[in-house]
Amino acid sequence: MTDNILHPAEVSTLYIVPTPIGNLGDITQRSIDILSSVDVIAAEDTRHTGKLLSHLGVQTKTFALHDHNEQQKAAYLIERLQNGESIALVSDAGTPLISDPGYHLVTQCRDAGVKVVPLPGACAVITALCASGLPSDRFSFEGFLPAKSKGRKDKLKDVEQMPHTTIFYESPHRITDSLKDMLEVLGPDREVVMARELTKTFETFKKLPLGELVEWVTADSNQQRGEMVLLVHGYRETTTEEMSPEVIRTLTAIAKELPLKKAAAITAELFSLKKNALYKWGLENLE
Ligand code: SAM
């Protein structure tokens, strides 16, 4: 086997190795070479990773490193690295550390002066973003939304006015509740993309205003299955083009009777626009 390895692992090095997120073909030759030549593979779930390794014909031993023992085992692994061994870190799927274990080990390696080498590869957030049709020049990845509705809505309020694409991981048993909370906080017009079952047989991208997406997902239980990423279009200020003559007439008429703040709020409600933008327009044009 060693003869075929083009990229052999170096001593005293921790390698971060991404694994496929569905399609087993999505692993690089370099990743396979590293997995084959390290002394040990630290895996989130050794049984799960075992299946991938046997598919790849890799016989390297595995070591369990998951959320519950990572802090405790990191020192032991660092000692092995300092004694000249090489270790590959993998998670169940995709890139370790991205909503997966590995942060404590990597940060402790850095603090101890141990070399850390990242290998590029599969990651659901990037896979979803690049084909979503949403702006990709700036984005923020927010991981999973909180499990409880109150925490979820608080988080959504925090990101509501972010101007860039905001991306969340979600699980099938929470998807409808999360979408309903999104609808409540972000409103029916916000464009959202649901990217489901990426790289797998039933890969689906659906881009709809939130009100329609919630209906579409709740009406079809198939859309609530599998693995999914939600990508939310950034907040858009109401532009002057959206200030149609009808909006301007309404705002102007109400502002004659009520304070501008109140007039902006009523007009925003009537036309599903943002009250702050209407208020700002009113200050510049009516006062
Ligand atoms: N480390 C992984 C990565 O690099 O993407 C993510 C691990 S996180 C525990 C699992 C979540 O990632 C899933 O709940 C889902 O939101 C997203 N995910 C993983 N694989 C996916 C796929 N094939 N299609 C859509 N989303 C996926």
Distance CA 232, CA 97 (A): 22
Whether 21 lines ligand 1, by a CB cut-off of 6 Å, is yes
Residue 243 confidence (pLDDT): 81
8 domain-assigned: no
Q: Of 209, 284, 201, give the one whose Cα is nearest residue 240.
A: 284
Whether 175 lines ligand 1, by a CB cut-off of 6 Å, is no
208 domain-assigned: yes
Contact between 42 and 87 (Cβ < 8 Å): yes
83 domain-assigned: yes
- Among 27, 197, 227, which residue has the most ligand 1 atoms within 8 Å of its CB, making it the best to mutate? 227
Distance CA 101, CA 95 (A): 10
Low-confidence ranges of the chain (pLDDT < 50): 1
Residue 271 confidence (pLDDT): 86
- Strand 13-16 relative to strand 115-118, pairing: parallel
- Strand 228-232 relative to strand 191-196, pairing: antiparallel
Length of the chain, please?
Answer: 287
CA of 193 to the centre of ligand 1 (A): 15
- Among 95, 193, 228, which residue has the most ligand 1 atoms within 8 Å of its CB, making it the best to mutate? 228
- What one-character DSSP code corresponds to residue 161? T
Read off the pLDDT of residues 26-47 as tens digits, 9 standing for 90 and up: 999 999 999 999 999 999 999 9
Residue 244 confidence (pLDDT): 87
Whether 101 lines ligand 1, by a CB cut-off of 6 Å, is no
Residues whose CB falls within 8 Å of the CB of residue 246, separated by 6 or more in sequence, listed in order:
271
- Mapped onto helix, strand or coil, the DSSP state of residue 181 is helix
**Using CB atoms within 10 A of its CB, is residue 39 exposed (0-12), middle (13-18) or buried (19+)?**
middle
**Using CA positions, which residue lies closest to atom 11 of ligand 1?**
169
Atom of ligand 1 minimally distant from the CA of 97: 1
> Partners of 170 in the beta sheet?
228
How far from 235 is each of 5, 6, 124, 158, 160, CA to CA, in Å? 48, 47, 23, 12, 7
- Per the structure block, which two tokens stand in for 262? 């109140």
Residue 236 confidence (pLDDT): 83
How far from 259 is each of 19, 244, 254, 255, 284, CA to CA, in Å? 59, 21, 8, 6, 15
Regarding whether 106 and 21 lie in a shared domain, the answer is yes
Regarding whether 275 and 198 lie in a shared domain, the answer is no
Regarding whether 171 and 79 lie in a shared domain, the answer is no
4 domain-assigned: no
Regarding whether 161 and 187 lie in a shared domain, the answer is yes
Residue 277 confidence (pLDDT): 84
Give the residue numbers spanning the domain of 56.
13-122
Regarding whether 168 and 188 lie in a shared domain, the answer is yes
Regarding whether 79 and 143 lie in a shared domain, the answer is no
Regarding whether 158 and 111 lie in a shared domain, the answer is no
Residue 120 confidence (pLDDT): 98
The H or E element spanning position 231 is strand 228-232
Distance CA 217, CA 156 (A): 19
Residue 237 confidence (pLDDT): 75
Whether 95 lines ligand 1, by a CB cut-off of 6 Å, is yes
pTM of the predicted model, to two decimals?
Answer: 0.86
**Using CA positions, which residue lies closest to atom 2 of ligand 1?**
94
Q: Of 275, 21, 220, give the one whose Cα is nearest residue 128.
A: 21
Atom of ligand 1 minimally distant from the CA of 199: 23
Regarding whether 80 and 20 lie in a shared domain, the answer is yes
